[in-house]
Each structure stands twice: as C-alpha cells, then as structure tokens.
Amino acid sequence: MKTFAHSRGPIHLGLDVHKLSITAGVLDAAATVPVLQQIGSDDAAVRGLIAKCGDPSRLRVCYEAGPTGFALARTLQGWGVACDVVAPSRIPKQSGDRIKTDKRDAAQLALLHRAGLLTAIHIPGAEIEAVRDLARARHDLDDDLKRVRRRLLAFVLRHGHVYRGGTTWTQAHHQWLDALRFDEPAARQTFEYYRSVMAIREHELAAISNDLRSWLDKPPVGQAAHRLAAYHAVGYLGGLTIAAEVANEWDRFPQARSFMAFTGLVPSEHSSGGSRHQYGITKTGNVVIRTQLIESAWHFRGRPVAGKTLQERQSHVGPATVARASVAHKRLAGRYRRLAARGLAPNVINVAVARELAGFMWAEMTSSA
C-alpha cells in the first residue's frame, strides 16, 4: 500500500468533510505542499486513509465544525488519532482570495494547523451532547410556538381585533380569543387552524420540557444544573440548558469575560490609533445560552425577594451557592433599577444585566465550594 509518510515527525491532515465525501490534505513533516486525496465519508474509507499515513500517533487531524458534527472526531480519537474540530469563523483568510474548492480548503487546513493558526473548539462527550440536543430541540420548539403566536396575533389584527387587556397569552387573553367571531367562513377556518397549530406546539413544548427536566437528577449535568437553577430567574430548565451547552468544561474559560464573549454578550469594537468605538453586542457566541440569559434578565426588574419557588430550588444546593445567588440577585436587581433611572432603553438594560449574570454563572461554576 502506498503511504503518504516519508519522514519522521508529525503528519498533519486537513479534512474538508461532507455528507458523502471527504477531501484530505496530507502534509508530511518535511513537505511544504499537502498531498490531496478524496475518499468516502464512511469509516472504512477513513481507516484506509489513516493506514496510508503510517503510525497513528504521528497524525494531527483537523476539520471544520459543521453539520456532520463530532462523530468523525470521536471515531478518530477512538483509533488513537489526535483530532481537532476547528471554528470556521476563526480560520484566517486572505482578503483577496475569491476561489473556494474542497481541495484548496483541505490543503489550507493542513498548512494552518501545522502553523498553529487554527482555533479548536471543545468536543463534548456523547452523553452530554445528547442532553444538549434535547435542550436545543426544546429551544427550537419554543421558537416555533412564538412564531405561531405572532402569526395568530397578526391575523386577528388584520381583521380589526385589538386586545386592550394588557399582557398577551394570559388566561384573560385566551378568553378574549375564544370570544372572537369572523363573518367570512374562510377567515374562521384560518383562525381555527392557527389556534390548533398553537395548541399542538404548546403540547409538544410541555412534553419535551418534562423529558428535559427528567435529567435534572442524573449525570452528567444534573449537579451543575441544580447550582445554576439556584440563581433567580434561571430555573431548572435554564440551568439544564446552560450546563449542557458548556458541557461541564467551565475551566476552558480563564475569566468571566471569556464566558461573556462565548455568549456573544460583549460589545463589538473598532479601535485604531487614539480612537475607540464600541457598538452593539457581537452576537457571535452561543445563541442558546444568550437567549436563556436575556430571558432570565427580564425578571430582575422587580424587588430582590426570594419566593417559594426559588427557595425550593436553593434547598438542593449548599449554603455557599445560596449566598452567591443571593448576592447576584440583589446586585442585578439594583443594577436594573439604576440603569432604568438613567432612562436607558429596556433592551439595553436587559443585555447589560444578562452579561453580568453570565459573569455570576462563571464565578459559580468555577468555585470549588
């Protein structure tokens, strides 16, 4: 069998991975130009490529994170091959490069990986990833429900029905919807279809929420979820979601600001020379955690009082966690009031509180007590 390795030292493999094929750029330790080869995406084809490269311990494999997930990385690691999954947004690109092919991408990955210019992302364990998928599915269903509700409200508004009773989707609002009447038969049918779809989404969301809640007292995320749920407005489902997204690897964030950047809640910036300009948040981080933190931040508008529900959640954690959660509750509620007194827009206030809540999350989960 023809091999790619001709010298001693590490061999870098850049893989451009697709559903049915993989383009590999094999860069021997003494080479300057990768050798390119296209193979199938099945395990047998990948094993054949690895065999051509000689000793698996010499291999340094990388590929971009994408729709194929981490299955290939886990397979390679199971064979004793070092593999990095790299962040696509952090791959250096030349501004004038307007050509993109699978072979060029594979070769570029191999060269950049050997130069140490790629940023590897965390590969979660299979069990944690499964819980994370369940939490993300719940997040998607929640988005679907909100979308259906917006369509329903837009429909009734187009027909001249305006709800003036305050907050929507309360019991009073549902009674108002029950009382609506439409003259045209097609309009009545449309209204009933929207309501039936909304009922289905509500049932699905309740079912998946119960399934997710069943992981609260199980490894691998149950203990972390309880600690996060001890914080005001986070709750059990929020704690499970955040714990699954971080995958119990809080130490990969050296400081609170690193975790804030991971959530995309830090301001974007353009500074040059003596000028410094900051803009809106980057929104380049984990959208699931960011959504959860922003939704939680709205609840700090009120007085910092620990209700029965919060006290019940705090009964499952140690006194040190309860003390830190109480400090966070008082501080964030006070910050919300102070920013509101300055006349800032509610969305701006909410993002600021969510960013600081992320800092408290990081401090909690990196604390030994």
**What does the DSSP assignment read for 76-144?**
HHHTT-EEEEEPGGGS---TT-----HHHHHHHHHHHHHHT---BPP---HHHHHHHHHHHHHHHHHHH
Q: What is the mean pLDDT of residues 311-335?
A: 97
CATH code for the part of the protein at 11-115: 3.30.420.10
- Answer yes or no: are the C-beta atoms of 50 and 22 closer than 8 Å: no
CB neighbour class for 132 (10 Å; exposed up to 12, middle 13-18, buried from 19): buried
pLDDT confidence band for 248 (50 / 70 / 90): confident
- What is the per-residue pLDDT for 269? 81
Place of tokens 């950047």: 261
Mean pLDDT of the chain: 94
- Spans of all domains in the chain: 11-115, 126-213, 222-365
Examine the pLDDT at 333 and tell me if it is beyond 60: yes
- What is the per-residue pLDDT for 1? 45
pTM: 0.89
Examine the pLDDT at 298 and tell me if it is beyond 70: yes
Examine the pLDDT at 2 and tell me if it is beyond 70: no
| Between 104 and 279, the higher pLDDT residue | 104
Q: Pairing state of beta strands 267-272 and 82-86?
A: unpaired
In angstroms and rounded to an integer, the radius of gyration of the C-alpha atoms of the chain is: 26
